[in-house]
A and B are shown apart, each in its own frame.
Chain A
């Protein structure tokens, strides 16, 4: 018997597979297909202080081995999430979840994180300082060391639960941002969010996405994500949740060898709604094949 469990910050996860925020809603659509309690955990849709409709459509463009999205943090706001979404979620998911938080000012990040941290189902707060699809928020905090430090420190002071900062590959040097977050008191980092990209429709000769640019994700970004996880592992001592194009059990193992303690699966869920279930079911076989007894033991082994 192989051991797929990993300890990530305060949480003991049955396996390191965690659906990524924005690709899994609140789990409900997937819970209709399979028992999502087999997941290590999941990171629910990014939450802001007030409700957001998000960006105008089209928000989606298909790409070779991936896609672009410009959803723009559509969510019902923290009040609705606390009072109606999470109570309903507890009916079909019984493990701790990861609450993904976004904001447009440090005060908004702090207030939203503080409110979500008081919910019993929330195990970790994932602070999204990396969304490429909103102006004056999101990524602007994740491309500047000083801002990243300030957000981390402010949120850490306001909450008791572990704080994980979600980083953008669009920063000039993701390692410096990761270090700033660690210095600010972060308990973990997750990376990478999407890469800024675009497509142009050849018939209309106009950008496909209404907002012109959006976040590129999917299998095509995996080698970039892997390299960044590898580099950040060399830079910080806090645990890393690796993500970016992960689509198979083999990808999970590779991410962990690069330095990830747990692994998020995002875009793959949208193409194959059973992706996480299949990855978890395939993990023991893949581990045996590559001579891995305990996943926890291979973290950063490639270094």
Chain B
């Protein structure tokens, strides 16, 4: 982990509540898709943890939903603004487990960190399939990005209200594969854990204090004892989680 100052390239609204923030800065510390950053937001005491959607040598992309005070302030960030970040945080996805036909499952604002993972797995020559679930058509994010990376025929979408793709939950449209990587709301992860036969890594979310393992604010109990979501996670093997 390092503390770095990044500057805003742009902060584009993707839909009513979701923004796409691109930041320029030193990303050399990032070791895996699925890691996150902790942003110092003006006027707030604690930093805000946001998963890294995508990154290259000189920039990161954070796709976040406006849900509270912190993200409301973030949504007003304009180009050139300097932001103090801690990064990279957490373990990220273990790509060595993927096998040849990995399946990525995302739900709602849990979708973003899977984009960098999809790129990484494609670059390793894997046959990647992506299943994305949203509440409604208007909530869909990053669909075109995933189509560009893995090909349109490999991206499957479901919406709860049936306004786009297959009606229902994302767990109903998961294709066959060698290994599953998932990020999304807890009920979705629980359902994947129970219904999907594939081995899987699941990325969890938690209210955090520090984001780097010092305060024990985000701990969960697993089959291997207490773990910090921010440090030993946020990505956990499905087998160690207790539901």
Contact = CB atoms under 8 A, between A and B. Distances in A.
Interface in A49-66: 53-54, 57-66
A25 B213 contact: yes
Task: For chain A, give the interface size range.
Answer: 35 or more
A220 B109 CA distance: 33
A45 B1 CA distance: 21
Nearest to B209: A60
B216 A71 contact: yes
Given A270-B210, A271-B47, A60 B217 contact: yes
Contacts of B69: 62
Contacts of B147: none
A97 B214 CA distance: 17
A72 to B, nearest CB: 9
A30 B212 CA distance: 9
Given A60-B207, A271-B40, A67 B219 contact: no
B226 interface: yes
A270 B209 CA distance: 7
B46 A62 contact: yes
B240 interface: no
B207 A66 contact: no
Nearest to A58: B207
Interface string B197-231: 00000000011111011111111110000100001
B208 A60 contact: yes
B45 A60 contact: no
Contacts of A271: 40, 45-47, 210
Contacts of A60: 46, 207-209, 215, 217-218
A149 interface: no
A74 B219 contact: yes
Given A33-B1, A218-B45, A57 B219 contact: yes
Interface string B92-112: 000000000000000000000
A28 B210 CA distance: 14
A74 B46 contact: no
A71 B45 contact: no
B86 interface: yes
Given A58-B207, A60-B207, A271-B40, A67 B45 contact: yes
A30 B3 CA distance: 12
B212 A29 contact: yes
Nearest to A55: B219
A301 interface: no
B44 interface: yes
A57 B214 contact: no
Contacts of B215: 22-23, 25, 60, 69, 71, 270
Nearest to B221: A53
A273 to B, nearest CB: 6
B156 to A, nearest CB: 31
Contacts of A65: 45
B206 A57 contact: yes
B210 A273 contact: yes
A74 B45 contact: no
A170 interface: no
B226 A23 contact: no
A273 B217 CA distance: 15
A62 B44 contact: yes
A10 interface: no
A30 B214 contact: yes
B214 A24 contact: yes
A63 B46 CA distance: 8
Given A57-B207, A57-B219, A58-B207, A67 B214 contact: no
Contacts of B206: 57-58
Interface in B124-157: none
A61 B1 CA distance: 23
A29 B213 contact: yes
Contact of A69 (B47, B212, B217, B221): B217
B44 A273 contact: no
Most buried by B among A60, A63, A67: A60
Contacts of A45: 216
23 contacts: A22-B216, A23-B210, A23-B214, A29-B1, A29-B213, A29-B231, A32-B1, A54-B226, A59-B207, A59-B219, A60-B207, A60-B209, A62-B44, A67-B46, A69-B217, A270-B210, A270-B214, A271-B40, A271-B210, A272-B3, A273-B1, A273-B3, A273-B210
Interface of A: 22-25, 28-30, 32-33, 45, 53-54, 57-67, 69, 71, 74, 208, 218-219, 269-274
Given A54-B226, A62-B44, 4 more contacts: A74-B216, A271-B45, A273-B214, A274-B3
Q: Which 4 A-B pairs have CB atoms at the shortest separation, nearest pair first?
A: A60-B217, A270-B210, A58-B207, A62-B46
